[in-house]
Structure 1
Amino acid sequence: MRDTPRSAFPHFCEIATRWMDNDVYGHVNNVHYYSYFDTAVNRFLIERGMLDIHGGEVVGFVVETGCAYFAPVVFPDTVHVGVRVAKLGNSSVKYEIALYRNDEPLPSAAGHFVHVYVDRRSNRPVPIPEATRAVLAELAFR
């Protein structure tokens, strides 16, 4: 996904880097990239009314993530997180995510993030609710 333009993503979330995100090498530490993934996906779901983090009966558990790094991000950059759905299964969804630094046209990093939808009480997989499925379909990679 190194050469993926911003136009390949139907949704974006803007995240400001923080001073503490930089590591001793002078760039944002890799652990924060996963935080950006998590923030962008869950913010989208919350804003669209598809995730109630406190009382929802069905929630998404992260079961897999991956990231490839292409160029550094540093404080005080702004990260523009592109999100799209690569695969929409019965109880899982695979997101593809790219991090764009400031106004740069190509990503500094890209990866994936998989949610499995589970019943909050039993922690057992359940089908993705229809309303959520419809919203996720809007992000489907075309």
Structure 2
Amino acid sequence: MSEIREQLRYSDEHEWVLQTEGSKVLVGITDHAQCQLGDIVFVEYPEVGAAVSAGDSIGTIESVKTVSELYSPVSGRITKVNSTLIDQPELINSEPYDGGWIVEVELEEGLEEALGKLLAAEAYAELIK
């Protein structure tokens, strides 16, 4: 059974969002997604400063089985990337909600509006049943 954290919001594309400070959020892929992908060997993410819209592809995640698109669940500007993943992409497998976060985004819209468009933990659990 995949781990689903109550304090996160989720996209239909299996990304999670966590508010960090003010209008900034961390984005990563869910435990369910990393299980489906298998051993992750490479992560490609956007440049810091890049503008992104919800639903846009912002990179790829390569595993031993496949390459998968990474989609932004929110609109805003990339303020940080998890450069640790360059040398340790497997952190996404072992710590998908902690050390395996992928990007930080400064939201274009209000926090409540952005998070309101995403799934709560219970709804995400239903999605992956």
Structure 1 and Structure 2 fold alike (TM over 0.5): no
What is the TM-score with the length of structure 2 in the denominator?
Answer: 0.30
What is the TM-score with the length of structure 1 in the denominator?
Answer: 0.28
